[in-house]
Amino acid sequence: MRYNEKELQALSRQPAEKAAEIGMRVPKKGSVVKRRLVKLVVNFLFYFRTDEAEPIGALLLEHCRITKEEPSGFSISFIEEPDRKYYFECSSEEQCQEWIDALRRASYEFMRRSLIFYRNEIRKMTGKDPLEQYGISEEARFQLNAPQPTGIECRKEEGLLGRAEISPNSFWPGGGGGRT
Amino acid sequence: MKLNERSLAFYATCDSPADNTGFLYKKGERHTAYHRRWFVLKGNMLFYFEDRDSREPVGVIILEGCTVELCEAAEDFAFAIRFAGSRSRTYILAADSQPAMEAWVKALSRASFDYMRLVVRELEQQLERMRAGARPKAEPLVPPRRERSLPSGGLRENGCAVWSQEAPSLPNGSLPRTSHEGGPRPPPLPPRRKPSLGSSPAPLLVPETPFTPGTTTFSRLHDWYGQEILALRREWLQSRGQL
């Protein structure tokens, strides 16, 4: 798959949400734990050799599962290949938990679900859609079910008014991990 | 750089919500020919497929840090996705109609992770303030700026407008309305707690959230806010003599 590598490299140089030197093992036969500089920027996890400026690689963190691994480590796996895990070894339980929390919040899809939840909560409390005042209430990315348009049209979705009560996990089965 | 391409392909083709889809003409990198491709925008990733029913994308444009501009190209309804940096590629795309082009430019210029995070934080804070008893206030959204240099050609391209990842404004260019400028005031919040003596604010049934907004997991926040609901329910059941 082609992608704009230069821009991804530029992104890896942006200020990170979180960065640390931790042990990492890739899901390749015979691979061992290696010390890497791991850097979280938006929804990408970059990993560098500790003395190099360019990353070895990047993981897009959409539809992934972050799992605690004993001791003081965690793994990242992706929905379509749940047994293929990237392992990380932290220096303490505290550091480990901080990374797990940060990575679980780091996906675009997680933010989208949070936004829809808050939007609905505020609407229930005030009777008003909080996005209206910014003129963005019709944007597809803020709808509960985004349109699947035919051709080039983009159908306007009905707002959340009039829908049944929504709980934060009910509209995305599988909770934080996304769908299989 | 290695990239988890299989996972990207899955993200592109799974049935999670797409923010925009449609056919666009994409100008080739080295040649001037345009190729018709099926585009799918999800989050900050713009995938493109050979055709609508292709099983895997041909490629993806990672949109973080881009600006989206109209441009006068050989094709009608053309627009450009530009990145900062001297050797960055500019993607020239063309839609089939004016409305389609406008829809794409709008969707792409707000596709960044930062923008989504901004809106989430804004609503999170609004909800916090409401729970603390204050009225919801409308404040203009000001996005945090990532350090980005401008494209060498400047912001104006052939005198056409530039959409970049700035704070959203209303279509007529005015700033978002504040809640006390015209329009109906929001309805008073429903009574949530039993009033205490005098006019002092009602004591909270549960203490203020220990979480700073934006620093904890969504599920924890949800559980935490749920405590108040459970407490209210218990109270109600007790008052009805059912506990």
Walk along chain B (243 residues) in steps of 10 and give the mean pLDDT of each run. Answer: 94 91 90 91 96 94 94 84 86 94 94 93 91 64 50 40 43 41 50 42 41 55 68 74 61
* A82 contacts in chain B (CB < 8 Å): none
With 50 as the cut, is the pLDDT of residue A147 above it?
A: no
With CA atoms as reference, the chain A residue closest to B97 would be A152
Tell me whether residues A112 and B17 touch, CB distance under 8 A: yes
Tell me whether residues B123 and A119 touch, CB distance under 8 A: yes
Degrees to nearest 5, angle at CA B109 with B152 and A54: 60
pLDDT of residue B24: 96
CATH top-level class for B5-114?
mainly beta
- Which amino acid, B188? P
Tokens 């960044």: give the residue.
B112
* B105 contacts in chain A (CB < 8 Å): none
pLDDT of residue B202: 39
A66-82: pLDDT as tens digits: 999 988 999 999 999 99
Tell me whether residues B7 and A62 touch, CB distance under 8 A: yes
Which class for B134: exposed (0-12), middle (13-18), buried (19 or more C-beta within 10 A)?
exposed
Using alpha carbons, select from B19, B177, B44, B62 the residue that is nearest to residue B115.
B44
Tell me whether residues A42 and B8 touch, CB distance under 8 A: no
Tell me whether residues B14 and A5 touch, CB distance under 8 A: no
pLDDT of residue B195: 40
Above pLDDT 70, what percent of chain A?
79
pLDDT of residue A113: 92
* A104 contacts in chain B (CB < 8 Å): 217
pLDDT of residue B32: 80
pLDDT of residue B132: 84
Q: A3, A122, A148: which to substitute to probe chain B, counting the most B Cβ within 10 Å?
A: A3
Strands B2-3 and A57-60: parallel
Q: How far is CA A80 from each of CA A153, B93, B128, rounded to the nearest angstrom?
A: 30, 31, 36
- What is this model's ipTM? 0.79
* A79 contacts in chain B (CB < 8 Å): 10, 14
- SS3 assignment, position A74: strand
How much is the mean pLDDT over chain A? 82
A7-41: pLDDT as tens digits: 999 999 999 999 999 999 999 999 999 999 999 99
Using alpha carbons, select from B194, B159, B189 the residue that is nearest to residue B70.
B159
**Across the A/B interface, how many CB contacts are shorter than 8 Å?**
229
Rg of chain B (C-alpha set): 24
Q: Which fold has domain A5-106+151-158?
A: PH-domain like (2.30.29)
Tell me whether residues A57 and B2 touch, CB distance under 8 A: yes
